[in-house]
Structure 1
Amino acid sequence: MGNNTSTKGRWTVAICGIIMMVLLGTVYGWSVFKKPLMESHGWEGPKVGMAFTIAIFCIGLSAALGGRFVDKAGARKVATLSAILFGIGTLLTGLADNIGALWLIYIGYGLIAGVGNGLGYITPIAVLVRWFPDKRGLVTGLCVMGFGFGAAILGQVAPLVIPSIGVSGTFYLFGAIYLIVLLIVAQKINNPPADWIPPAASKKAPAAVKESVDLMGALKMYQFYILWLLLFINVTAGIALISNLSPMAQEQIGLTAAAAGTIVFISSLFNGLGRIFWASMSDKIGRKTTFLLILGTQVPLFIILPQISSVVLFAILCCYILACYGGGFATMPSFATDTFGPKNIGNIYGKVLLAWGIAGVVGPMLMEYIKKSTDSFATALYIAAGMLAVGFILALLYRRPKSAS
């Protein structure tokens, strides 16, 4: 029997993976439901916001644990489970609004949908780095770009739907869409056949190490901890800004809530565009150089951001920072695959994604605590600049292993 060298079906896998990521990325649009829920039930803002915090933590945790199942049980099974959990969790959130049960929102949106989201996030990434060794940065960039665009799409659609069918009806509608569409695309998300011979990577694109390492082997390598910290630092800095971008724009620049919302929307688009830009760039200049640029160029921006009074300049800086935030997500899967090999990347990269879950809690809490203590966001932004500088030094210390055996 000859070796299978066909690449015909891999773009179908990629398109289905991108569709899955767009739908899962709507989790970042939670803020559009926050005010309606507060007004309907009289719930306090921090209590409603806790649902999002639980969801982000569960996404990171389930992605860390789910990567192993992608490698062992198969991508299609994990993607199918993700579709069921994310759809049911969203439907339960609609029920929670109907009966006025905040605890059920924590379980439905935070726990169930969060776990489903994390399982779904790691699956297309782990699959596509195997299907596209010749375009690893580009295809993972396209994939996670979809995740970045999901929030922007929901942010425009949900406010138009909520006045017509209410918050609960909107969750029921989206939950049904998630369940049906995700179940369909999940059936196409599979690893390459065992006899498949991948196309060679281009001379410019970094190749993975010749021998793949397992999780225990990766944990013995200092490169694992550098990659973990690079992701943690970039996400902490970026999500600290994202979680408070609207109030910052209103307080610092004097914008109305609607005008601040426009900056949030535009910067969300750059969050998505930055993912494809930096990921494809990493195929040409290398993952290490890409992260040096992502981290290093943000340092002065976080330092000067609190001093900006121009609306245009403030928006430009925020758009660039969010492009770097998204770029870190998009480049890291290829960085990890180049370092540890593709065979067990689902399990290994899942553990790297724990940095996302922890940073998703640390970043917003840092901003909230310092804002409450100093009545200003400036100190938190200076701390973020310091963290990014440390990340730049860590990236300098990275050396690609000659072999992962």
Structure 2
Amino acid sequence: MIPPAALAIHFSIGQAYAWSVFKTPLEKALDISGTASALPFQIAILVLGLSAAFGGTLVERKGPRWAMFVSLVAFSSGFLIASLGVATSQYWLVIFGYGVVGGIGLGIGYISPVSTLMKWFPDRPGMATGTAIMGFGGGALIASPWSSQMLSSFGSDTSGIARTFLVHGLAYAAFMTLGVLLIRVPADGWRPAGWVPREETGKQLVTTANVSAKNAVKTPQFWLLWIVLCMNVTAGIGILQKAAPMIQDFFQDTDAPVSATAAAGFVALLSLANMTGRFVWSSVSDMIGRKNIYRLYLGAGALLYLTILLGKNSSTALFVVAAMVILSFYGGGFATVPAYLKDLFGTYQVGAIHGRLLTAWSVAGVAGPIIVDAVADAGKKSGNSGPGLYAVSFYLMIALLVVGFIANELVRPVNPKFHEPEPVASAEQAAPAEQGEAQDKKDEARDEQGEARDEQDEEGGADGVPAEKAVPAEKGKG
């Protein structure tokens, strides 16, 4: 029941990826620009990273249930405050509610189950983190059509948007309660039946040592991964937060313009790709390694952006497929990075290290929308339309992905001087497991002694010793 508990939280807070459905209605109802309508989303992602960074150690100490409850209260309250802001035409309340208060719920909720899942699935850390984080990517798969339908039913004026926000806040509070009630942590030293951790993995970057969160931020590996995550997120989030209006702009002058309903469907498809990529690519990383999978995310992502630019508005299908693959890489990057951190820094305080790394998401959450929205707004003022609104921003995304690719190539094993002393690691984490391994070795030795006695008794029986002499050896073996 642990993966469903994690998904109850992540499917809810993953609504953030459906924000683009509200952009156009808010712009018309409150008479604001495209850049202004992106602010709640940008602030929410900024606060997500900051709250995850500063709250990561607290989440590790107080446990996942406490973290999920805090996330529930903050995320739901953010919607209620935003509802009040739209109803009273006070846009700053929307920014404060959805962006600041809701952003705290996003950050604490995002990291709440990750460390716990890796403890339940130590043999498949990539798959484990992908299971939880795919829910965040898939949140818009539910929220996008649901929000679109409510706006159609309630209306896209201030009253209708306010009622939609209100329903979101109440419904998500109920759904997230399931996660709070279901979550559990494994007992100390627990591991899957039949699984024995290998002392030597044969993979250069994978360590059996541990690094504290305090020391991790002093290593070049942490900051290289910070750059990798920031570049990958910036390249994906720019499309995601403006997906609905973007596809309409791209094909507005063609024979097959995209309707608002179809645009909402496009957002849902991107959410599906985002969600699927988180589980599939992170699981693949368990087989081919984290460094190789990031080569795919960053290198192939840059080529796909170039494909969209060269294809321009010639094919809706090409645009949709390329965008979906880019978003699958975007989601995969999020799901794989906790396992990458585990490989480099060990399991000791990996949740806190992950929280600090998510400040890269904060920066990307601001940079991505600014790049796309600001360039598009400037293009409109210059008289541009269609794909011309996004050409410059797409070239910038390609450049960022190349920077991320280079940073990933520079990642090397962590210098042993940053490793925790063995007694610290064993006292807080490894002792139960080591005790279990010691007991296993004793059991194996006892079995070998029993088998040796069996062989001696069998040889003795052949020389005339009664067969009953073998009974004590059989008991020893058992």
Please give the TM-score of this superposition, normalised by the length of structure 1.
0.90
Q: Secondary structure at the match of 2:309?
A: helix
**CA gap 1:36/1:135 in 2 versus in 1, 3 angstroms:** same
* Offset at residue 112 of structure 1 (A): 0.7
Q: Note if contact 1:294-1:328 (Cα within 8 Å) is conserved in structure 2.
A: yes
- Which one of the candidate residues 61, 64, 74 is aligned to 1:85? 74
Match of 1:214 in 2: 212
CA distance in 2, matches of 1:385, 1:19: 34
Q: Secondary structure at the match of 1:343?
A: coil
Give deviations 1:7-63, integer Å, cap 9, x for gaps: xxxxx1221001210011012212223333444444444333322221111111111
Q: Trace 1:40-189 onto structure 2 (pairs within 5 A).
A: 40-165=29-154, 166-189=160-183
Match of 2:440 in 1: none
Match of 2:464 in 1: none
Match of 1:301 in 2: 304
**CA gap 1:240/1:221 in 2 versus in 1, 3 angstroms:** same
CA distance in 1, matches of 2:233, 2:202: 25
- Which one of the candidate residues 376, 393, 418 is aligned to 1:371? 376
Q: Secondary structure at the match of 1:185?
A: helix
Match of 2:319 in 1: 314
CA distance in 2, matches of 1:246, 1:91: 24
Please give the TM-score of this superposition, normalised by the length of structure 2.
0.77
Q: Which moved more, 1:333-342 or 1:71-80?
A: 71-80
Match of 1:400 in 2: 413
Q: Note if contact 1:275-1:328 (Cα within 8 Å) is conserved in structure 2.
A: yes
* % identical aligned pairs: 36
Match of 2:469 in 1: none
Q: Note if contact 1:82-1:117 (Cα within 8 Å) is conserved in structure 2.
A: yes
Q: Secondary structure at the match of 1:95?
A: helix
**CA gap 1:48/1:387 in 2 versus in 1, 3 angstroms:** closer
CA distance in 1, matches of 2:76, 2:345: 33
Q: Note if contact 2:341-2:354 (Cα within 8 Å) is conserved in structure 1.
A: yes
Q: Note if contact 1:135-1:205 (Cα within 8 Å) is conserved in structure 2.
A: no
* Offset at residue 164 of structure 1 (A): 3.7
CA distance in 1, matches of 2:250, 2:36: 26
Q: Secondary structure at the match of 1:399?
A: coil
CA distance in 1, matches of 2:56, 2:69: 14
**CA gap 1:32/1:304 in 2 versus in 1, 3 angstroms:** closer
Q: Secondary structure at the match of 2:182?
A: coil
Q: Which amino acid aligns with 2:305?
A: F
Does residue 280 in structure 1 map to residue 276 in structure 2? no
How many residue pairs were aligned?
394
Does residue 196 in structure 1 map to residue 190 in structure 2? yes
Q: Note if contact 1:218-1:340 (Cα within 8 Å) is conserved in structure 2.
A: yes
Give deviations 1:55-77, integer Å, cap 9, x for gaps: 11111111111211112222221
Q: Which moved more, 1:210-219 or 1:244-253?
A: 244-253
Larger Rg over CA atoms = 2
CA distance in 2, matches of 1:312, 1:394: 32
**CA gap 1:224/1:315 in 2 versus in 1, 3 angstroms:** same
RMSD: 2.4
**CA gap 1:314/1:47 in 2 versus in 1, 3 angstroms:** closer
CA distance in 2, matches of 1:42, 1:368: 16
Contiguous gaps of at least 5 residues in structure 2: 155-159, 421-478
CA distance in 2, matches of 1:300, 1:47: 31
Contiguous gaps of at least 5 residues in structure 1: 1-11
Q: Note if contact 2:21-2:244 (Cα within 8 Å) is conserved in structure 1.
A: no
State the structure with bigger RCO (CA 8 A, min sep 6), 1 or 2.
Answer: 1
**CA gap 1:249/1:175 in 2 versus in 1, 3 angstroms:** closer
- Which one of the candidate residues 350, 362, 366 is aligned to 2:367? 362
